[in-house]
Amino acid sequence: MLSDKYSSGNKHGRSFTIAGCSLLLAFILLLFTPGLTSEEERDTGWDQAPISTDNDLNDVLALNSTSAFAIGENGKIYHTVNSGVNWSEQDSGVIQDLNAIEFNGQAIVAGDSGTVLINDVDSWIDNSIEGAGNLYDLSVPHFESLADSVIFVSGTGGEIWKWSNNTWDDLSNFTGTTNDIYAVDFVNEDEGFAVGADGLIIATIDGGLSWEIRDSPEEFRDFSFYDVIIFGYKGPNDDEASPVSVLIVGENGTVIQSSGTGPTAIGYIWKVPSENSHPTNTTSTLKSISGSSRFKFWIVGDDNFVALTEDGGSSFYNQSQLQNAGSDFTGVSFWDGDSGFAVGEEGTALYTDREGQDPRVLDTAISYDTFWKFAKYAFPFLKEGMYNTLKIIVLAIFMGFTIGVTLAVFKTSQLNLRIPLSLPKDDGTWKFVNFNPLKFFATIYTDIFRNTPLLVQFFFIYFGLVEIGVDLTFESILGPEKALERAYGSAVVALGLNSGAYQTEIIRSGIQAIPTGQMEAGRSVGLTYIQSMRYVVLPQAIRIVIPPLGNETINLVLNSSLASAIGFGEITRKGRFLISVTFETFWTWGLVLMFYFAITYTLANILKYVEKRLKIPGLGLGGED
């Protein structure tokens, strides 16, 4: 029997081991019950709406809250009217890759080899440009009919064409660049921006007859820009001075913005719309922007990237992990602030009617009438909490043990300073008092931490130390990218310091349990005090105190629940959150207990095993070897 290996050997102990292991096993089974945790069952905020094709999709256009066009390689155009549940393929009449789709009364598509298609009910009218290269984007500032419309398209090698007066004009010579132009956006027939390879930004205010190069920030000049969008600008005749925001996305997670008010010159100064240099927290290539206002928009890109901002790009809710498409996304299009589509490689398509947000982050109370329904909802939170708890205890145990060993050595040290109590007496003798600064320090430390409540220590470290400028995010050491959440840093430090005090006493007792002869024997061989400690006394002392150290470690795990009081999202904190949403106190706390049991019971068995492995005949208590 497996448990025999590390049970204490007597019958009583063994039956306990079996009972505990069965409980643990039951818990693990529960943890991996497919219905409870499988990704399909979770509401991710986005619905899968795949198109059955191997072709990569390049762009999408939402026509209203439930219908859309999606376009892709090999001239493919798909249409849905029911939120992406069914997609029907339409006859485009071409086999070139289609790259971009825009709408202004009619949907218009641009593609490779100068392909331009205009939608007409269920068919597409070919209006391709003779002699043009691959077209990457288009903008339609005016459309009454094909004869009365203005269309701009951009493409390879700095190409820009304009459709007006029923004919295509080649404006490529006016762009002043031979970089590929990946995106173009016009707010009216005259004013627009185009962006492309190697940080290219150009702007026109005369319908493309002349273009001006706008400098992108120096650090972005090596990156290609893939989409540009102008929010809020109505044109030079706009009466109200409405705020304008131009956004560009591209390689290396780039998001830059130029803003101004009303019909003033914009696009001269570009900056990241956030104090964080990477508000999207990604270095993946970003491909497409779509949104309902200059504040609320979505960005999609490579490596499964989908993110929403509601503050104009200052911060993003990353929705990537919420949906499980595992794809590079190429296009996104939102009808309004709630409904939209996103498309990507190999027919990947997503639809949302709820901002792409997991409703569990919304403050809605849901009724959970069965345990399973509750557990489905609760498990992801509790698993996250368990991960966070483990994150604290691993570091805190390590920190506590280091402190414990060091201070135990301090406490048992023989360093004695002789401090005179007063001036010499009449007979010339001094009266001395012995003072051991190491022992003094260690004693003060352990006395303070063992005689104050741990909860108050948490409060002092989390709320108090920040006041005098102690940086518990460790930003100065780890750098701004890897800096810890302050509650996390505080929890580790508080638990580590507290446990260190208890471990000091435990290890000190172990050191004192080793006969002084062992130290003498070490010294008589010629080892220094520190060497004798390190190679002779401590290895024996630690072995003796493994059982009480194990108890202390388990205490530390249980005490980690106090981190919930400073707002760190460990298991208990998640439990409190679950109750605030579900009001299911019995189930919630019951499950929380089980999660703690699983951690401590596993830990206890590991420690038992370690103790057995390190056991040496003739050393320490018990054992019949």
Partner 1 sequence: MSDTLDKMLKRINPVRTLEKSGENKGSAVISVKNLEKIYSGGVHAVKDVSFDVFPKQVVVIIGSSGSGKSTVLRCINRLIEPTEGEIFLEDVQINSPSTNINEIRSEIGMVFQSFELFMHLKVLDNVTLGLRKVRGYSKEKADDIAREVLAKVDMSDKVDVYPGQLSGGQKQRVAIARSLAMNPKVMLFDEPTSALDPELVGSVLESIKSLVAEGMTMVIVTHEIGFAKEVGDWIIYMDEGQVVESGTPDIIENPKTERMKKFLGQILEA
Contacts with partner 1 by CB under 8 A lie at 515, 517-518, 520-528, 531, 535-536, 539-540, 543, 616-619
- CA separation for the pair 58, 77 (Å, rounded): 10
CA-CA distances (angstroms) from residue 578 to 34, 35, 364, 494?
Answer: 21, 19, 12, 26
- CA separation for the pair 590, 601 (Å, rounded): 16
Nearer to partner 1, 237 or 516 (CB): 516
Smallest Cα–Cα separation from 68: which of 76, 60, 56, 59? 60
- Per-residue b or e along 359-368, where b marks 16 or more CB atoms closer than 10 Å to that residue's CB: ebeeeeeeeb
Residue identified by tokens 């707010």 is 187
CA 33 to chain centre: 25
Nearer to partner 1, 133 or 539 (CB): 539
Question: Rounded to the nearest whole angstrom, what is the least distance from the CB of residue 533 to partner 1 in the complex?
Answer: 12
Smallest Cα–Cα separation from 225: which of 128, 314, 154, 144? 154
Nearer to partner 1, 469 or 517 (CB): 517
Question: Rounded to the nearest whole angstrom, what is the least distance from the CB of residue 414 to partner 1 in the complex?
Answer: 11
CA 427 to chain centre: 76
Nearer to partner 1, 360 or 612 (CB): 612
101 DSSP assignment: E
Question: Rounded to the nearest whole angstrom, what is the least distance from the CB of residue 492 to partner 1 in the complex?
Answer: 31
Question: Rounded to the nearest whole angstrom, what is the least distance from the CB of residue 615 to partner 1 in the complex?
Answer: 10
Question: Rounded to the nearest whole angstrom, what is the least distance from the CB of residue 556 to partner 1 in the complex?
Answer: 26
Nearer to partner 1, 272 or 536 (CB): 536
Nearer to partner 1, 166 or 528 (CB): 528
- CA separation for the pair 489, 472 (Å, rounded): 5
- CA separation for the pair 126, 38 (Å, rounded): 46
Question: Rounded to the nearest whole angstrom, what is the least distance from the CB of residue 546 to partner 1 in the complex?
Answer: 13
Nearer to partner 1, 34 or 618 (CB): 618
* Residue 447: burial class (beta carbons within 10 Å; 0-12, 13-18, 19+): exposed
Nearer to partner 1, 463 or 535 (CB): 535
**Quick check: 329 and 297 in contact, CB under 8 A?**
no
